[in-house]
Amino acid sequence: MPSLRRLLHGFAVTPLVLLAACSHSQAPAPTANAAPPVLTVAEQVTPRDRVWDGTVQAVNRATLSAQTAGRVVELPFDVNDYVPKGAVVARFTDVEQGSAARAAAARVRSAQASYTDAEAQYTRIAQIYARKLVSKSQYDQVVATRDSAKAALDAARQNARAARQSQDYTVVRAPYAGIVTQRFVQIGEAVQPGQPLIAGISLNQLRVEAQVPQSDVDVIRKYARAWVVLDGGRKRIEAAKVIVFPYADPATHTFTVRLQLPPADTGLNPGEVVQVAFMVGSRPRLLVPDSALLQRGEISGVYVVRDGDIALRQVRLGAHFGDQVEVISGLTPGETIASNPLQAVAWLVKQHDAGKPNDKGA
């Protein structure tokens, strides 16, 4: 291990500033007189996992199609545009639909007038019939006329509702906020019902699907915990839910496992390939806080405290677990390290300036 003189060589003017630039810690450097805080490293039980590749998918993705005939007069959004929920994404001509809606509304008014007249006639005849001044057949006739007018009014209202709905179909709105991925029509093009217009996806809700071997399905289903591994293992996003499909692909004999991701900004994009770690058990690991590490390029180290001395020791790191990282080699359980590398450097500089350099390797 390098001695303190070699570590501080070239840093005589501003050792604290330069070493701080190499550290994960962002806290301001304490005074040199403060004793560095320490912690004793120990093994912790952590998940044991197996990793496969998975594909990021958008939960909400749709292709909007025409539900009425017309000619396209407006397409406000193009590919890669962000579309708010409820925004108009396509508009058609509505001459025929508007005329049908107005005609249906006129039939409703006519049926309403007929029903009003039939209802008034029924009221008069019913009062006379109660005094036994008209025959039962006359009474039955006005009742039938009233009921027929009521049925005609109901039918006219239904037709008017359908006509208005057909007119509403000339304006196509986004069912949710998202990104346009494809546009199938252009302005001026005539469209028919069922013809695709525009496709899009929402980035607010994502999921990941992975294909896993048949031999691992039972243990994955047992623990039902999984993580998306990012940044070379430095970041993990735990799945909100793990769903194992109840059938295998007959060609590959693999099972599809779906991870529902939490509704947060994960930085993932649909179509990306990511690593997925599935819990298959547990095992002890030696973990240290990420803030206790000193990083110099590809080399990681910690300040080991032993017998009143502090020395920098190189360590080999493994997986990250939140704000802690696994130490594969370089440390043993029970050893003591400085929890803040900046304070450790400050203490070493103080010792060096006092004429008591620490040249011991840990």
Report the Cα 343 to chain-centroid distance in Å: 40
| Positive or negative: CA dihedral 20, 24, 29, 33 | negative
Question: How far is residue 235's CA from residue 241's CA, in Å, rounded to a whole number?
Answer: 18
| Model pTM score | 0.63
Alpha-carbon distance values, 116 to 147, 169, 253 (Å)? 11, 33, 70
Question: What is the pLDDT, as a whole number, of residue 31?
Answer: 46
Question: How far is residue 32's CA from residue 11's CA, in Å, rounded to a whole number?
Answer: 16
Question: How far is residue 305's CA from residue 92's CA, in Å, rounded to a whole number?
Answer: 75
Residue 345: CB atoms within 10 A of its CB come to 28
Q: Which amino acid is at 1?
A: M
- Write out the two tokens for 318: 């493994």
Residue of 266, 62, 75 lying closest to 177 (CA atoms): 62
Question: How far is residue 207's CA from residue 299's CA, in Å, rounded to a whole number?
Answer: 35
What are the residue ranges of helices labelled H in 267-354?
341-353
Residue of 245, 321, 323 lying closest to 279 (CA atoms): 321
Question: What is the pLDDT, as a whole number, of residue 134?
Answer: 83
What confidence tens digit (pLDDT) does each residue in 105-132 have? 999 999 999 999 999 999 998 888 888 8
Ranges under pLDDT 70 in the chain:
1-35, 355-362
Question: What is the pLDDT, as a whole number, of residue 34?
Answer: 56
Domains of the chain: 4-45+284-353 (2.40.420.20), 50-60+203-283 (2.40.30.170), 61-93+173-201 (2.40.50.100), 100-169 (1.10.287.470)
Residue 116: CB atoms within 10 A of its CB come to 12
Question: How far is residue 16's CA from residue 342's CA, in Å, rounded to a whole number?
Answer: 7
Q: Which amino acid is at 165?
A: Q
Q: Which amino acid is at 350?
A: K
Question: Tokens 């430095």 identify what position?
Answer: 234
Strand partners of residue 90: 172
DSSP secondary structure string for all residues of 269-311 = -TT-EEEEEEEEEEEEEEEEEGGG-EEETTEEEEEEEETTEEE
- Write out the two tokens for 321: 């677990």
Question: How far is residue 83's CA from residue 81's CA, in Å, rounded to a whole number?
Answer: 6
DSSP secondary structure string for all residues of 91-140 = EE--HHHHHHHHHHHHHHHHHHHHHHHHHHHHHHHHHHHHTT-S-HHHHH
